[in-house]
Homo-oligomer: A and B are copies of this chain.
Amino acid sequence: MSKEIHSVRVDKRSSVTLEQVAKHAGVSRATASRIVRHSTNVSADTRNKVLESMRELGYVYDRVAANLRSRKSATVGLIINDIANPVFAEMLIGVHQELDAHGYTVILGTTYELADKQDSLISTMLEYRVGGVIMGSVPGTSKETIERLSQLDIPVVLVREPPGEDFDYVVVDNVFGAQIAMEYLIGNGHRRISFLGGPPELAPWRDRIAGYRKALFHAGIQVDESLIIASPTSRQGGTDAVHQILRHPNPPTAVLCYNDIVAFGVMNGLREAGLMAGRDLAVVGFDDIPEAALSYPKLTTVTGSPRLVGATAASLLHQRITGMDNAPKRIILKPELVIRESCSSYLKL
């Protein structure tokens, strides 16, 4: 159904058709078609004749018509929350590069975290007969929505949080990521380490906290629950959280942040308090967005590599679309710690 879509749709210029080219060259439409499709069963002579006619008439191949007839599609949909969010922007870059290299055209949709919007986006994409969909949108990736795609036999690959077991997905190992960050901090002599920011209801948060606890446990350090502060996943959230932790009767010497954005907020809050990340408080981020290498001090962070995640998802989708492999694929990327400046330990305790 094409409900709620009252979009502008505009007259296509009536271009030169294959038929006209064929006539001009004195061959049949089928022959002209063969040439346009690089079929080998054409004599060099007619080929040149037809090519010449195309040039003369200014012919432009109509891929839309061709796809309709041949029942093929080389477009895929990508759904993300918001391009302005660096993590998604990076994911988009990864997806686009990978897919572009394989000749796909990508239709981009943004949900701004609205579940309704997501559904309507998927509808539109289906109407455009996409060959597959990558869903980077989170949360709101309801099981029903995805199953709708499954039923239509459209390959889907998810980024983060698979809502079931039969889906392809790629995620980063958040538990592991948090753990290596903590081990680094602990190795630097820190014993009181805070976890700041993020939404406790989301899987990535739970996983990162799990890694946080795990590392503490292995180091024989008792978890101090008052050092864990959830807050909005935003700069402001980070700033608020650090102000709060600074008032703690026994404040931490290091903080692991839910992600880089929060970490930037933390560094900001520190400055507001006349303090400095690295010198007065070790801070570690998560995701390694490009800005992390550009801040002052440069942020030590765990590579979530959203770009790699995107590229991986795209490659998975490509495999699935071309049917090279039909087993459900789950890819779990092992993050690494990128050590920069925000934990310089000249203040080692």
Contact yes or no, B152 A15, CB < 8 A: yes
Query: In the complex this chain forms, how many copies of it are found?
Result: 2
Query: Interface segment, A52-60, A136-144, A198-206?
Result: A52-60
Asked if A273 is an interface residue, CB under 8 A from chain B, the answer is no
A 242-291 contacts with B by CB, 8 A:
264, 267, 271, 290-291
Contact sample, A vs B, 26 pairs, CB 8 Å cutoff: A2-B37, A6-B38, A6-B103, A7-B103, A8-B102, A8-B318, A8-B321, A9-B67, A9-B70, A10-B322, A10-B323, A12-B71, A13-B153, A14-B71, A60-B123, A60-B152, A62-B68, A64-B129, A65-B68, A68-B68, A84-B290, A96-B110, A100-B109, A105-B107, A105-B124, A271-B296
Closest CB pairs A-B (n = 10): A7-B103, A9-B72, A63-B127, A12-B71, A2-B61, A13-B153, A9-B74, A296-B296, A83-B93, A61-B127
A 99-123 contacts with B by CB, 8 A:
100, 102-110, 123
Contact yes or no, A5 B294, CB < 8 A: no
What is the CB-to-nearest-CB distance from A2 to chain B, in angstroms, rounded to a whole number? 4
Asked if A27 is an interface residue, CB under 8 A from chain B, the answer is no
- Count chain A residues whose beta carbon lies closer than 8 angstroms to a beta carbon of B: 73
Q: Given known contacts A67-B64, A127-B63, A294-B291, is B13 in contact with A104 (CB within 8 Å)?
A: no
Asked if A92 is an interface residue, CB under 8 A from chain B, the answer is yes
Give the residues in chain B near A10, CB-CB below 8 Å: 72-74, 131, 321-323
Q: Report the Cα distance A58→B10, complex, angstroms.
A: 28
Contact yes or no, B131 A73, CB < 8 A: no
A 143-158 contacts with B by CB, 8 A:
151-154
Q: Which of A62, A64, A107, A290 counts the most B-chain CB atoms under 10 A from its CB?
A: A64
Q: Given known contacts A63-B127, A128-B63, A296-B295, is B154 in contact with A13 (CB within 8 Å)?
A: yes
What is the CB-to-nearest-CB distance from A209 to chain B, in angstroms, rounded to a whole number? 26
Question: Which chain B residue has the least Cβ–Cβ distance from A74?
Answer: B9
Contact yes or no, B63 A8, CB < 8 A: no
Give the residues in chain B near A83, CB-CB below 8 Å: 89, 92-93, 96
Asked if A333 is an interface residue, CB under 8 A from chain B, the answer is no
Give the residues in chain B near A58, CB-CB below 8 Å: 151-152
Contact yes or no, B12 A131, CB < 8 A: yes
Q: Report the Cα distance A276→B295, complex, angstroms.
A: 14
What is the CB-to-nearest-CB distance from A335 to chain B, in angstroms, rounded to a whole number? 21
Give the residues in chain B near A67, CB-CB below 8 Å: 9, 12, 64
Asked if A180 is an interface residue, CB under 8 A from chain B, the answer is no
Q: Given known contacts A7-B104, A71-B12, A103-B7, is B294 in contact with A264 (CB within 8 Å)?
A: yes
Give the residues in chain B near A93, CB-CB below 8 Å: 83-84
Question: Which chain B residue has the least Cβ–Cβ distance from A36?
Answer: B2
Question: Which chain B residue has the least Cβ–Cβ distance from A93?
Answer: B83
Among B103, B110, B124, B127, contact of A5 (Cβ-Cβ < 8 Å): B103
What is the CB-to-nearest-CB distance from A104 to chain B, in angstroms, rounded to a whole number? 7
Q: Report the Cα distance A87→B212, complex, angstroms.
A: 36
Contact yes or no, B291 A73, CB < 8 A: no
